[in-house]
Amino acid sequence: MRTVGVQVVLFDNDPTQQVRLAEAIAAAAGRALADGETSLAKVVLRYGDCSRWPCLSDGDRARIADTVAADGAGLDVSFEFFGANLGSAGGSNALAAAGDEDAIWVLNPDTYPAPTALAALLAALESGVGATEARQIPIEHQKAYDPQTGDTGWATGACTLFRRGAFDRVGGFDAHFFPLYCDDVDLSWRLRLDGWSIRHVPRAVVFHDKPIGTGGAVRWTETAARSSHLARLWLYRRYGRPDLERRFLAEAAVADDPILRAAVDEFTQRAAAGDAPERLDDGGRVAQFVDGQYAPRRFSYAG
Amino acid sequence: MDDLRYDFGYTSSSTYARAARLIASSTRPGIVVDLGAGVGTLAEPLGHFGFGHLGLDSDPDNVAAMRRRGRAAGEIDLRASDLVERVHDALRTAEVGDDSRVAAVAFLDVIEHLPDPEAVLGRARDLVESLSARRPDDPPLLVVSIPNVAHVDLAAKLLLGRWDVTDVGLLDRTHITLFDEARLDALMRSTGFAECGRLDVVQPVTEQRFPPDLPSHGDTTLGRFVRDVRTRATASGETYQFVRAYRVAPADVASAEIASVDDAPPPFLSVIMRTQARRSSITDALTALAAQHDDDFEVLLMLHRAEPEAAAAVEELVGSFAPELGRRVHVHRVAEGGRSRPLNEALAVARGRYVALLDDDDVVTSDWVGAFRRGADRAPGRVVRARCVVQWIEETPGALADFAPVSGFEPMYPDTFHFLDHVRSNRSPPCSYAVPMGVVRALDLRFDDELRTCEDWKFLMDAARHAGAESDPAVTSVYRRWRGAGGSAAVEDEQTWIDDHLQVLADLDTTPTLVPPGALGEIHRLYERVEELERQLGLRGPDDPPYRA
């Protein structure tokens, strides 16, 4: 990979946190560019803003530009204000379409990659690998991976490096059905159906700014919970699991959970109107639904 | 004053004997110019060491008394602006020998009587300098003795609202300017002197031990507590009289001291990270620090007994972080010592208002520093403790990573800091609390290098029993515990943990402990619970008396 496009989709994010993220990206890019093991020659940074009003002022953008220019790597940076909430998936697709770099590094705005992260992700993006995923801290993702190869079922969108050729071949994220949640699961599974493998890279560390709840639970916001329920139903449709869909809907019907009800109502209405994903042939070959997760787990969090 | 006649063992000759010994051990024999000499008490002990004496005093009666005893003496006003010339005149008049024979200038029990000690010491510096020119191979000393008003006996009385001026002693009614060690040090530095020796009078019991039965004095519980706190706060808690020798500081030393003052404002938090540079987990810990929302902290990265290559790799890692973090990480190499050595070395250089520990295998949320800050704002001076969860990890040799989690987060520790809980066992992992550096400095808190385990618990308990603790409800740290071989829990055997635990309690129990309000009720309930359980187990009959420990 000679070129990498780093992309961050914003939605009402704190400018201070974005400056800090820019510093981290510049440090990681600088280290990867200097790493003799990679053939990396150029890194560009693209921001796409889905907020109603630009969340970065001219001054903020200037600070970010100065930071990435000064911190060793000398990155080019661009800012695009979408003027609409495209969701993280739609925003990522739009930013990917704006570039032609060999690899696309998708980063959530609430992350902070270690300086070694990009070099490690690049090193793992071997032939046949469509995406390499960083290890999140402080809440490490619990899904299983092969401890020797890193092969895993899907890659989280918080910090993943995609091979552009693979990303483009499968059409990128599905922003229609998965604007916020499970867009990464869906994309990973379509990549695998296309023959690519997905790798978890434990040595690529990224801080993902999530609070830990009382009692050690991983917290979900209401929006996240609703989007997540709906996304699960779309995944059942696309990857051919009507049995799980029926069971989910039956359990939801008796659950005292208004968020779950709202998600089911939207699913039902849209599906009745024909707004549902087509079933993918052979989808069951890659899709895994294990105890409510999309891959076997190494361990579990409460909540 | 009758009740002042307490045999506290101090006589002014103690000071003069010590001053003479200090001079004799610091320079070769010659004349000592004794400014404010009184009746020349210093002459006799000096004579034992082969030194001559010129006594100069402002009181003609004292001068006459010295002369009657056949001693060289003269009259002098110490406040005179031409003090240097007057001393040289007196040396000539007294015919004690030429200027080159002056080995020292003494100011014993004088400075505290001066309204403007800076001015007089400034002239004393000029005097010593002028005499040094005549004796360049062994320049004269300045020797001073000054009573210490920060003596524990005075601290104990102030605690109860007493400040008893007396005819003699620490609060002699003729003392105009009062000194503790810090003020003396500052005065001497500011007037151009550098300390070269000391022979302080250490006197645990002073003339201030009155009235009898004052509860903050002596062997009362409060008295022992006050003495413990005061003597830990600075080494001079029981110093009655500072007896110190100085030489004129070279100009470059004086200016270097000024230049070394760090103008940068101290950070809120000093984070001590101890590492042997053996694990990749340090990347996690540093990245989590880089992502803090509140970045007002420094990191003291203590490379302890690290292999050179591994240490270099860590330094290279630090250097590869964004400069915003990198410039706040200070790497120190510590080649020797036990687990506590790097922690204590870090404490010695920490600049933060608070100090916290983050081991290289633990990880924190972005609110870690923020939670400590909130607690410090709510309850300044107290230990701040936030919630912490455990995640079990294990080594994974041969895999892509050298370690991996094997559990989710387990809330193994209580939500709030509870002192008595912590007496039973440590319920706060090192990454879960921050201690005010004011407490660390005031109590001379250290990590116990004699312990193989539990050093953090002892540190926390020692701080909390004096400062108390403020709890923050946020979960801000993940204490990663090693399953199988790995961390110190696995390295040390169970018996070591038990032994060290008991040792910590025994050490803390050598001095009184303050417990927070409510503790007595809790202890009462614990005793009741013990009694109830003993009844249930048939170990106690209904008519047995209440349980006694």
Chain A interface residues (partner B, CB cutoff 8 A): 16-17, 20, 23-24, 26-27, 30-31, 71, 112-116, 135, 137-138, 140, 142, 147-150, 201-203, 205-207, 209-218, 298-302
**DSSP codes of every residue in B230-255:** HHHH-TTTTEEEEEEEEEEPPHHHHH
Q: Among all residues of chain B, which has the CA nearest to that of A14?
A: B293
- Chain B residues in contact with A137 by the CB 8 A cut-off are 284, 287-288, 363
Contact assessment for residue B34 and residue B42, using Cβ atoms and an 8 Å cutoff:
yes
**pTM for the complete prediction?**
0.89
> Do B324 and A23 make contact, defined as CB atoms within 8 angstroms?
yes
Q: Shortest CB distance from A150 goes to which of B391, B400, B415?
A: B400
The DSSP output letter for B266 is: P
Distance between CA atoms of residues B146 and B148, nearest Å: 7
Count chain A–chain B contacts defined by CB atoms under 8 A: 122
**DSSP codes of every residue in B48-106:** HTT-EEEEEES-HHHHHHHHHTT-EEEE--TT-TTHHHHHHHHHHHHTS--GGGEEEEE
| pLDDT computed for residue A219 by the predictor | 67
Contact assessment for residue A105 and residue A121, using Cβ atoms and an 8 Å cutoff:
yes
Q: Which of residues 318-337 of B touch A (CB under 8 A)?
A: 320-324
| pLDDT computed for residue B254 by the predictor | 54
| pLDDT computed for residue A72 by the predictor | 60
| pLDDT computed for residue B250 by the predictor | 82
Residue B114: HSE in the Cβ half-sphere, 13 Å Cα cutoff:
22
- Among A112, A201, A210, pick the best mutation site for testing chain B contact (most B Cβ within 10 A): A112
- Among B369, B475, B476, pick the best mutation site for testing chain A contact (most A Cβ within 10 A): B475
Block means of pLDDT (10 residues each) for chain B, 549 residues, are 42 84 94 94 94 95 94 92 92 76 94 94 94 88 97 97 96 96 96 96 95 92 95 95 94 55 82 92 97 97 95 95 94 94 97 97 97 98 97 93 94 94 94 98 94 94 96 96 71 84 95 93 92 89 67
User: Which residues are CB-neighbours of A112 under 8 A, at least 6 positions away?
Assistant: A20, A21, A24, A206, A207, A209, B287, B290, B291
Amino acid letter for position B41: T
3-state secondary structure string across chain A:
CCEEEEEEEECCCCHHHHHHHHHHHHHHHHHHHHCCCCCCCEEEEEEEECCCCCCCCHHHHHHHHHHHHHCCCCCEEEEEECCCCCHHHHHHHHHHHCCCCCEEEEECCCEEECCCHHHHHHHHCCCCEEEEEEEEECCCCCECECCCCCEECCCCCCEEEEEHHHHHHCCCCCCCCCCCCCHHHHHHHHHHHCCCEEEEEEEEEEEECCCECHHHCECCCHHHHHHHHHHHHHHHHHCCCHHHHHHHHHHHHHCCCHHHHHHHHHHHHHHHCCCCCCCCCCHHHCCCCECCECCCECCCCCC
Indicate the pairing of strand A111-113 with strand A197-208.
antiparallel
> Do A211 and B474 make contact, defined as CB atoms within 8 angstroms?
yes
**DSSP codes of every residue in B110-147:** -GGG-S-HHHHHHHHHHHHHHHHTT-TTSPPEEEEEEE
Contact assessment for residue B388 and residue B478, using Cβ atoms and an 8 Å cutoff:
yes
> Do B287 and A216 make contact, defined as CB atoms within 8 angstroms?
no
> Do A207 and B367 make contact, defined as CB atoms within 8 angstroms?
no
> Do A207 and B290 make contact, defined as CB atoms within 8 angstroms?
yes
Distance between CA atoms of residues B21 and B106, nearest Å: 13
Question: B401: left (phi > 0), else alpha (psi -120 to 50), else beta?
Answer: beta
> Do A207 and B287 make contact, defined as CB atoms within 8 angstroms?
yes
| pLDDT computed for residue B97 by the predictor | 67
The distance between the two most distant Cα atoms of chain A, rounded to a whole number of Å, is 59
Cis before A138 (ω within 30): yes
Q: Which two tokens stand for residue A24?
A: 């981290």
> Residue with structure tokens 């006649």?
B5
User: Which residues are CB-neighbours of A98 under 8 A, at least 6 positions away?
Assistant: A46, A78, A80
- Chain B residues in contact with A135 by the CB 8 A cut-off are 401
- Among A31, A63, A299, A300, pick the best mutation site for testing chain B contact (most B Cβ within 10 A): A299
Q: Among all residues of chain A, which has the CA nearest to that of B408?
A: A301
Q: Which two tokens stand for residue B178?
A: 């009062």
| pLDDT computed for residue B544 by the predictor | 76
Which residues of chain A fall short of a pLDDT of 70? 71-73, 219, 303
Q: What is the Cα B279 distance to its own chain's centre?
A: 34
Contact assessment for residue A182 and residue A235, using Cβ atoms and an 8 Å cutoff:
yes
Q: What is the Cα B414 distance to its own chain's centre?
A: 32
Q: How far is B473 from chain A (nearest CA, A)?
A: 8
Q: Which of residues 278-317 of B touch A (CB under 8 A)?
A: 280, 283-284, 286-288, 290-291, 293, 295, 317
Which stretch of DSSP H or E encloses residue B26? Answer: helix B12-26
User: Which residues are CB-neighbours of B543 under 8 A, at least 6 positions away?
Assistant: none
- Chain B residues in contact with A201 by the CB 8 A cut-off are 400
Q: Among all residues of chain A, which has the CA nearest to that of B414?
A: A215
User: Which residues are CB-neighbours of B103 under 8 A, at least 6 positions away?
Assistant: B23, B27, B28, B29, B30, B31, B32, B51, B135, B138, B140, B141
Q: Shortest CB distance from A300 goes to which of B324, B364, B408?
A: B408
Q: Shortest CB distance from A216 goes to which of B324, B398, B411?
A: B411
| pLDDT computed for residue B5 by the predictor | 34
Q: How far is B232 from chain A (nearest CA, A)?
A: 39
> Residue with structure tokens 């201030």?
B208
Residues in chain A: 303
pLDDT tens figures, B379-438: 999 999 999 999 999 999 989 999 999 999 999 999 999 999 999 999 999 999 999 999
**DSSP codes of every residue in B454-522:** -HHHHHHHHHHHHH-EEEEEEEEEEEEEESSSSSHHHHS-HHHHHHHHHHHHHHHTTS-----TTHHHH
CA dihedral (A66, A71, A72, A75) in degrees, to 10, reads -50
> Do B400 and A203 make contact, defined as CB atoms within 8 angstroms?
yes
CA distances from A6 to A149, A208, B50, B192, B324 (A): 25, 16, 83, 60, 21
Q: Which two tokens stand for residue B117?
A: 């000690």
Distance between CA atoms of residues B183 and B206, nearest Å: 21
Distance between CA atoms of residues B278 and B289, nearest Å: 19
Cis before B211 (ω within 30): yes
Q: Shortest CA distance to B202 belongs to which of B444, B15, B23?
A: B15
Q: How far is A200 from chain B (nearest CA, A)?
A: 9
Measured between alpha carbons, how far apart are the two ends of chain B, in Å? 45
Phi first, then psi: what are they for A178, rounded to 5°?
A: -130, 65
Q: Among all residues of chain A, which has the CA nearest to that of B480?
A: A138
Judged by DSSP in three states, B172 sits in strand
> Do B474 and A24 make contact, defined as CB atoms within 8 angstroms?
no
- Chain A residues in contact with B411 by the CB 8 A cut-off are 214-216
Distance between CA atoms of residues A169 and B368, nearest Å: 43
